[in-house]
Amino acid sequence: MNIHRRALLRVGAAGGGAFAAPGVVLARNQAVAPPDPPETVRRWPAGAPGGEGVSVVPIVPERSTDPSYRDRYAQYTTDPLMTV
């Protein structure tokens, strides 16, 4: 059996979307970002070492303008935590 490379590429291009993972398709169709994770893990429950007397105000700016995608970062944090 002799398969030409161009014929194989045409078949792949025509049916490539059929092999996409269903979860990926659902994620693209969501209109709103998923809710915030319910659990947080504090890195230092008693406070960060050397953070005594620091008086900054932590902020978490949202950089994304798309409501289905969150792009946030923590700035001026005095209580490092991880959301799970």
pTM of the model: 0.45
Q: What is the pLDDT of residue 11?
A: 64
* Mean pLDDT for all residues in the chain: 75
> Do residues 58 and 43 lie in contact, with contact meaning Cβ atoms separated by under 8 Å?
no
Q: What is the pLDDT of residue 44?
A: 87
Above 80 in pLDDT, residue 57?
yes
Q: Would you list the domain boundaries of the chain?
A: 5-83
* Spatial distance between the Cα atoms of 72 and 81, rounded to a whole number of angstroms: 14
Residues, the chain, total? 84
50: left (phi over 0), alpha (psi -120 to 50) or beta: left
> Do residues 43 and 80 lie in contact, with contact meaning Cβ atoms separated by under 8 Å?
yes
- Least reliable range by pLDDT among 15-19, 39-43, 62-66: 15-19
